[in-house]
Copies of this chain bind each other. A is one copy, B any other.
Amino acid sequence: MNPYKELKDKAYEANLKLVKHKLVIYTFGNVSASDNSKGVFAIKPSGVSYGKLKAGDMVVVDFENNVVEGKLKPSSDTKTHAILYKNFSGIGGVAHTHSTYATAWAQAVKPIPILGTTHADLLPQEVPCTKVMSDEQIKGDYEKATGSQILEVFKNISYEDVKMTLVACHGPFTWGATAEEAVYNSVMLEDLAKSVFLTLKINPQITPIKKALIQKHYNRKHGKGSYYGQK
């Protein structure tokens, strides 16, 4: 049996969830799932539409971007996934979508301010946005540079607290302990992106919520003092 079957199945299931949550159309977007013990991840093949995708189509790649198993070419964004796995130790999934509102914020080159408790339930600060790439970066190893732009953002932010970013002029990337969590974060990011958009249209003068409120909600769900859920 294919030693990567389970990993490929996970990646496949997670890709289908993007469709279910209406975050992708045609071939846009991709999710990967990693097996950190083996130093590899399974990712959607490039340019295959979700309607025709099969679990066996997933491509297995290592963290240096070498194809380990699979007949198809991996997603054109594979290098970006590889850099995230290599640098964000312990994450198990990465998702990239062109979801409507999150992409609009990325294209606007604006971070998404934290204006409510739904946001604070998820992450304890604004959703960051990378800088616009230089011409040199674009003309060079572009997909690797996308990863570098993300790493730059997370020099001073914990990737374990903030499991998402906007890539300027492009769209959102999210991650998590599993591919399923990465997709969850993509869904929630789209929800936040729309909610904050509307909030600012209703009240352009509104300012970010209090630090105490951010901490209260974030700590209800995360860390040792958390009391949300059944744990």
Q: Which residues of A are in contact with B by a Cβ distance under 8 Å?
A: 25-28, 45-48, 72-73, 76, 98, 100-101, 103-110, 115-118, 121, 132-133, 135, 138-139, 142, 169-171, 184, 187-188, 191, 194-203, 206, 209-210, 212-213, 216, 220, 227-230
The residue from B109, B203, B228 contacting A109, defined by CB atoms under 8 A apart: B203
Contact A108 B199 (CB under 8 A): yes
Please give, as numbers and ranges, the residues of chain B lying within 8 Å of A169 by CB-CB distance: 115-117, 209-210, 213
Contact A107 B46 (CB under 8 A): no
The residue from B104, B200, B202, B220 contacting A195, defined by CB atoms under 8 A apart: B104
Q: Which of A101, A107, A133, A197 has the most CB of B within 10 A?
A: A107
Question: In the docked arrangement, what's the CA distance between A115 and B194, Å?
Answer: 18
